[in-house]
Amino acid sequence: MKAAVYKGKQKFSVEDLPLRELENDEVLIKIRYSAICGTDIHAFQYDLISVGHVPGHEYSGTVEKVGSSVKLLKVGDRVTGGGGTPPPGLGSPARNLNQFNFKEDGVYTDIKKTRGLAEYTISREWEPLKISDKISHLQSAMLEPCSTAVRAVRLSNIKIGDNVLVIGAGHIGMLCIQAAKAAGASKIVVSEPSLKRREVAKSLGADVVIDSSDPDITQTIISSTDSIGPDVVFECAAALPTLDLAFDVVRKKGNIMLVALSWEAVPLVPIKWVTKEPVMALTYAGEPRDWQISASLMAEGKIDCSTILGDTEFIKLENIQEAFDNALKPEGFQAIVEFE
Ligand SMILES: [Zn+2]
């Protein structure tokens, strides 16, 4: 099978790898779509993918073969690449360890595991989530980022009727807009530099869209949220000034949820905000419950991925190097690998 193998120093090579035999509790998944995540791009940029590893964690596919003791899945089941409930003691070390430094410890060190940027992947039977017929393979590949947005909203202290600001309308920002709406947000304000993305944000239910290059952006946001500032801010940009902006605009005792995370130091002047007593929280990926909620929201049409994928480039695995190189450029895009 063809797989995108990381060779170190920002280089991939597409190689023919042998497909090993399944263990009793494993399933073989034929991949249909595999999206390149922002985390993959960061790991590539900082050369943090182990040499020999095949990354990719946002994928969909079909079960092609099952091990002798598998009960949870059968041949022909449509699945997404995560969201299953781990048996006690298993699951991601990033989730289970008390201290885990994601920048230093957290990126794709399990080189034995060939993940989604390959024609096939092997999983324990509990790892993937079975997908209903109401969700397409393409939507199913977006369930991982969707679960991240849903978890961010669920942990954000959002209340029915809250005014919400989403900073940055990339894929995660667009998913947060929809998840916040599903959670009962009343007004959603979006700040985003790209006109095209602002238009998409509007079509997804944003009430006010603001060009983030507006020199008076702080005041513009505050005046569009009852002149007191948003109740909840979702920081989905992780640009140098955006966390500072989140604190500047959030209302007194409001909540800031860091969804996109900077990998570099960002300038902050905390004394500016002390009288507001704001609360900031971080969130990490999605837990099984968040995946299940995301799948329900997709099936009910409350989260729509087709619109947000409007400008996505669909590529063949052979073009993976170009796709990662492009993603590092300022105007770069995140591609989705499409398999036969
Ligand atoms: Zn991801």
| 313 has a pLDDT exceeding 70 | yes
What's the rounded Cα separation, in Å, for the pair 314 and 33?
9
Between the CA of 18 and the centroid of ligand 1 the distance, in Å, is: 26
Mean pLDDT, the chain, as a whole number?
Answer: 93
More confident residue, 104 or 175: 175
Cα(147) to ligand 1 centroid in Å equals 9
3-state SS, 87-126, equals CCCCCCHHHHCCCCCHHHHCCCCCCCCECCCECEEEEECC
Is pLDDT of 107 > 80? no
* pLDDT at residue number 105: 76
If you measure from the C-alpha of residue 219 to the centroid of ligand 1, how many angstroms do you get, rounded to a whole number?
33
Report the alpha-carbon distance of residue 84 to residue 208 in Å, rounded.
37
Q: How far is the CA of 249 from the centre of ligand 1 (A)?
A: 28
SS3 291: helix
Residue 106 reports pLDDT greater than 70: no
Residue 110: which pLDDT band, with cuts at 50, 70 and 90? Answer: low
Mean pLDDT of 217-242: 96
pLDDT tens per residue across span 169-184: 988 999 999 999 999 9
For the cut 90, the answer to whether the pLDDT of residue 308 exceeds it is no
Question: For residue 201, how far is its CA from the centre of ligand 1 (angstroms)?
Answer: 20
What pLDDT shows up at residue 94? 79
Tell me the β-bridge partners of 187: 163
Interval between CA 205 and ligand 1 midpoint (Å) = 23
pLDDT at 227: 98
34-63 pLDDT, tens digit per residue, is 999 888 888 899 898 889 999 999 999 999
pLDDT at position 185 is 98
Centre of ligand 1 from the C-alpha of residue 152, in Å: 14
Compute the distance from residue 34 Cα to the ligand 1 centre, in Å.
Answer: 10
**Ligand 1 center from residue 68 Cα (angstroms):** 31
How far, in Å, is the centroid of ligand 1 from the Cα of 56?
A: 8
Q: How far apart are the CA of 144 and the centre of ligand 1, in A?
A: 6
Percent of the chain residues past pLDDT 70, beyond the cut: 97
Distance 251 CA to ligand 1 centre (A): 30
pLDDT level of residue 101 (50, 70, 90 thresholds) = confident
**Amino acid in position 264:** E
Question: Which residues, other chains included, contact 71 with Cβ-Cβ below 8 Å and sequence gap of 6+?
Answer: 125
> Quick check: 200 pLDDT over 80?
yes
**C-alpha 230 to ligand 1 mean position (Å):** 27
In the predicted structure, residue 318 carries a pLDDT above the cut 80:
yes
For the chain, the structural domain boundaries read 2-144+286-338, 152-282
Q: How far away, in angstroms, is 139 Cα from ligand 1 center?
A: 14
Per-residue pLDDT averaged across 86-92, rounded? Answer: 84
CATH topology of domain 152-282: Rossmann fold (3.40.50)
Give this prediction's pTM: 0.93
What is the distance in A from the centroid of ligand 1 to the CA of 214? 30
pLDDT(152) > 90: yes
**CA Rg value for the chain:** 20
Among 105-119, 190-204, 255-269, which stretch is predicted with the lowest mean pLDDT? 105-119
- Mean pLDDT value across residues 199-225: 97
Provide the pLDDT confidence category of residue 98 given band limits of 50, 70 and 90. Answer: confident
Residue-wise pLDDT tens digits, 263-296: 889 999 999 999 999 999 999 999 999 999 999 9
pLDDT exceeds cutoff 80 at 210: yes
CA of 59 to the centre of ligand 1 (A): 10
Whether residue 225 has pLDDT greater than 70: yes
> What is the whole-number distance in angstroms between the Cα of residue 245 and the centre of ligand 1?
25
CATH of region 2-144+286-338:
3.90.180.10
Kindly state the average pLDDT of the residues 10-33.
96
Q: What does residue 37 show for φ and ψ, rounded to 5 degrees?
A: -90, 160
Distance 215 CA to ligand 1 centre (A): 32
